[in-house]
Structure 1
Amino acid sequence: MSFVSLLGVGVIGVMLGCICLVSQRKSLFGVLLSMEVFTLAVYVVIFSELWVLGELSSLCLIFLTFGVCEAALGLSVLVSLVRGVGSDYVSGLVSGHF
């Protein structure tokens, strides 16, 4: 796979993640999924840049570790929100039931 196609996939993934993140207005689960798409797309961009430079250091592994930690924290917040409020809709948070 060439550099241009890998970088193009990453850039398209970043744009898709941003569009999905902005368009999510109801569900917190959808926001978490779009943030994961964004994180993985940024990982692809970083990986492709470091691959071209020939320096595949531990930066990719560190970034992926932070992405997994972000996903775990988001899932724990989602579970506690569903247990406390009863749903993951953002409109339930605005009314002050949390």
Structure 2
Amino acid sequence: MSNTSLMILYLMPFMAITNMLLNQTHFLMTLLSLESITLSLVLFIPLMLMNASATNTAMAVILLTFGVCEASLGLSLMVSMSRLYGNDMLKSLTLSKC
């Protein structure tokens, strides 16, 4: 791999976290940001393990499993939120409506 592609892979987790911090209007955008964090970590951790001469490839499978569980839980939360509130805006989740 060239140095440019390695630099992009190293910066992907930080760009995904920045994207999640900046896009917090819709619940779906937050879920997509969490998925991009998971995907970037699935790509980033095996690269770091290869650089450290460790051959633990099971870490990527474990991260993918947690990513799938997080996605299904987030999707079910979004469906229940849209049924209760009628939208997926995060600003509608306040306790002052009670």
Q: TM-score, normalised by structure 2?
A: 0.81
- Tell me the matched-pair count: 97
Aligned partner of 2:43 in structure 1 is 44
Change (3 A) 1:91 1:54: closer
CA shift, 1:54, in A, is: 5.3
CA shift, 1:56, in A, is: 4.2
Change (3 A) 1:43 1:6: farther
Change (3 A) 1:7 1:66: farther
Q: TM-score, normalised by structure 1?
A: 0.81
CA shift, 1:76, in A, is: 0.8
Any residues of structure 2 matched to 1:2-81 within 5 Å, and which? 7-52=6-51, 53=53, 55-81=55-81
> Counterpart amino acid of 1:50?
L
Aligned identity (percent) is 31
CA shift, 1:78, in A, is: 0.6
Change (3 A) 1:42 1:6: farther
CA shift, 1:26, in A, is: 1.1
Which consecutive residues of structure 2, in runs of 5 or more, have no partner in the other structure?
A: none
Root mean square deviation of aligned Cα: 2.2
Runs of 4+ in 1 over 3 A off after TM superposition: 4-7, 95-98
Which consecutive residues of structure 1, in runs of 5 or more, have no partner in the other structure?
A: none
Change (3 A) 1:8 1:60: same
